[in-house]
Every structure is written in structure tokens, then in C-alpha cells.
Amino acid sequence: MEEALKNNHAEEKLCLVVKELIEEGLTQKQIYEIFESFRTHLREAGRETDEDIVMNVMDYYTLVQPHNRLFPGI
């Protein structure tokens, strides 16, 4: 995830991370917990811009943008 944030297209790269985690068999809850833990780390480190990017990706795959859900039925 750190590598993704170093990229000019960080949100796109983080979306690929989500898809890779799904392919590995992780559940939505597990992926959300990974992203939430990483977001908390970024906040504690004072990296607000990076935190915003992570939050955007989290929102993209949850209730905020339901048409983009990778997990049907949630």
C-alpha cells in the first residue's frame, strides 16, 4: 500500500490492491480492516493527503458508492 501511495495514480493502484486481496480470498470485512488500520497509521503519522487517498478508495468500495461495489449484496 505504501508503494501505491508513491505512484502518481495512487487511488488506481490502491484499487488494484483491493482486487488482488479479493482474488486472494479475503472478505470485505478483512479488506476494510486492513485499509482502516493503514488509514489510522497514516493519520498518526500526520500524512493527511495519503489518508484522504486511502479513505477515497475505502468509500469507493463501500456504501458511499454502491454502484462500484466489488462485493454484491452489501
Q: Is residue 54 in a domain? A: yes
| Cell numbers representing residue 41 in the block | 497509521
Q: Is residue 8 in a domain? A: yes
> In which domain, by residue range, is 25 found?
2-68
Q: Is residue 6 in a domain? A: yes
Of the pLDDT bands very low, low, confident and very high (cuts 50, 70, 90), residue 37 is: very high
Of the pLDDT bands very low, low, confident and very high (cuts 50, 70, 90), residue 29 is: confident
Give me the amino acid identity at 43: R
Whether the pTM exceeds 0.85: the reply is: no
Domain total in the chain: 1
| Cell numbers representing residue 7 in the block | 505512484
Q: Is residue 73 in a domain? A: no
Of the pLDDT bands very low, low, confident and very high (cuts 50, 70, 90), residue 16 is: very high
Provide DSSP, 17-66: HHHHHHHTT--HHHHHHHHHHHHHHHHHTT-HHHHHHHHHHHHHTSTTSG
pLDDT digits (tens, 9 = 90+) for 47-69: 999 999 999 998 887 654 455 55
Q: Is residue 74 in a domain? A: no
CB 18 within 8 A of CB 70: yes
Close Cβ partners of 26 (under 8 Å, ≥ 6 residues apart): 34
Q: Is residue 7 in a domain? A: yes
* Average pLDDT estimate for 11-21: 92
